[in-house]
Structure 1
Amino acid sequence: MSRDDRQARRGYHHGNLKQALVDATLELVVERGPQGFTMAEAARKAGVSAGAPYRHFKGREEIIEEAARQGFEMFADLMEHAYASAPPSALARFEATGRAYLAFARKFPGHYITMFESGLPIAQNSDLKRTTDRAFAVLTRAAEELIARMPKDKRPPASMVSNHIWAMSHGVVELFSRGQPGTKTPFAPEDLLESGIGIYLRGLGLIERDD
């Protein structure tokens, strides 16, 4: 029996080859980036033969797509939970969704990379688009609730506000949440995001300016 055959038997023992390959891919994208490994390396890490992944996936991109789809489902659940469990105020719910973004990136780096850094054509994949829309619908709903107090003629589109906060959250993750905390800034990522949101909302007149 060859070494690959022995690995394959160990891999099939857990009973879910497809998920084992996704899990292996998540580890590899954290270690090397979404383009830094081959299908054969994903198979090796999953403990199966080099040809086994092709029973479920045509290539590396399809494994990454599945990892991203699972990530967006988890992300949407987390965003919905953050919104529903926040104190009953528009501002608190809005801030909670921003913090949930940082929490997800920190806890699930492999999923985060496949979702936002792998260059997937999300609009061309109906499953990815559906889960992406569900996740960011929560942030847009929080934005709608928050800007409802503004005069209609001065009210920006809720989707623009949610995209601004998405961009700010993503920037904090990319610049300050990777690697060893405190090596790039003396401030915690959560504090950077909270202060950034505060400045943004003060500019819109949604919260009072500090004296």
Structure 2
Amino acid sequence: MSDPALPGPVTAKAAYHHGDLRAQLIAAVRELVESHGPDGFSVSEAARRAGVSSAAPYKHFKDRHEILRGVVAEGMDRLRAAMQAGAAQHPDGSLEAVAAVGQAYVTFARSEPGVFRLVFGLTEGHQDDPDLLSKGQDCFGVVVQAAARRLMLPPTDQDVMRRAYMLWSFVHGHSFLIIDRKTDVVTEDIDDWPFLMAISRAVLQ
């Protein structure tokens, strides 16, 4: 399974070597969001980490909000890829493939709680942003495909869509309960994999 781990420190040498300042700035802001929150970072600090002047980010982004939007878009792409990679590690149509999609989702939330929160905070009202809406549909589409293959039905089937939504609701809620430390009230540790297998089995069998 693809592990969406946080990147290491961004250096000027790395930025110029790769020739992609926009990607380097997004990586720098990801680090800052995790350490300081989406409201606690400065564009100038992100520029410093990328090894460029404080004016350089505005050649790629018109303002701070657009930088955060870039972080969200990139994060959603990585989340989708991790979910697809998780399913691919198990037999097509198996419960394990479905659970692995959920495991990738939970792993992303655990690894990058700042970006995870930002994704679902910044995309509020995302119906007005076609690009983010499309990326959100692509992420949910991975869940739909896994459910459809398990049920041996087309992904457009209404029952598939309903069950996929149930799966997403369980895993999304579980992820937020974990990163918000609400599971501390539970008397026993919750092991992700048995939990995800049980949910997959209950929803799809």
Matching of residue 60 in structure 1 with residue 70 in structure 2? no
Letter in 2 for 1:168: F
| Distance across 1 between alignment mates of 2:83 and 2:131 | 18
Letter in 1 for 2:191: A
| Matched ranges for 1:1-211 at <5 A | 13-14=16-17, 15-109=19-113, 111-119=115-123, 121-148=125-152, 157-177=159-179, 185=186, 186-198=189-201, 200-201=202-203, 206-207=204-205
Note the alpha carbon deviations across 1:151-184, whole angstroms, 9 max, x for none.
xxxx9632222122112112221112567xx856
| Distance across 1 between alignment mates of 2:15 and 2:82 | 31
Contact 2:72 2:122 in 1 (8 A): no
Superposed CA RMSD in Å reads 3.1
- Are residues 37 and 91 of structure 1, via their aligned partners in 2, closer, same or farther at CA, if it must alter by over 3 Å? same
Q: TM-score, normalised by structure 2?
A: 0.73
Unaligned runs of 5+ in 2: 1-11
* Larger relative contact order, structure 1 or 2 (CA cutoff 8 Å, min sep 6): 2
The alpha carbon displacement at 1:104 in A equals 2.7
- Are residues 171 and 108 of structure 1, via their aligned partners in 2, closer, same or farther at CA, if it must alter by over 3 Å? same
Contact 1:30 1:110 in 2 (8 A): yes
| Distance across 2 between alignment mates of 1:95 and 1:29 | 28
| Distance across 1 between alignment mates of 2:14 and 2:148 | 48
Unaligned runs of 5+ in 1: 1-8, 150-154
Contact 1:147 1:158 in 2 (8 A): yes
Note the alpha carbon deviations across 1:177-208, whole angstroms, 9 max, x for none.
567xx85642223343333444x42xxxx54x
- Are residues 71 and 104 of structure 1, via their aligned partners in 2, closer, same or farther at CA, if it must alter by over 3 Å? same
Contact 2:25 2:47 in 1 (8 A): yes
SS of residue in 2 equivalent to 1:117: helix
Contact 2:43 2:57 in 1 (8 A): yes
Letter in 1 for 2:192: P
- Are residues 187 and 134 of structure 1, via their aligned partners in 2, closer, same or farther at CA, if it must alter by over 3 Å? same
Q: TM-score, normalised by structure 1?
A: 0.71
Contact 1:10 1:48 in 2 (8 A): no
| Distance across 2 between alignment mates of 1:148 and 1:188 | 29
Contact 1:177 1:189 in 2 (8 A): no
- Are residues 90 and 189 of structure 1, via their aligned partners in 2, closer, same or farther at CA, if it must alter by over 3 Å? closer
Q: Percent identity?
A: 30
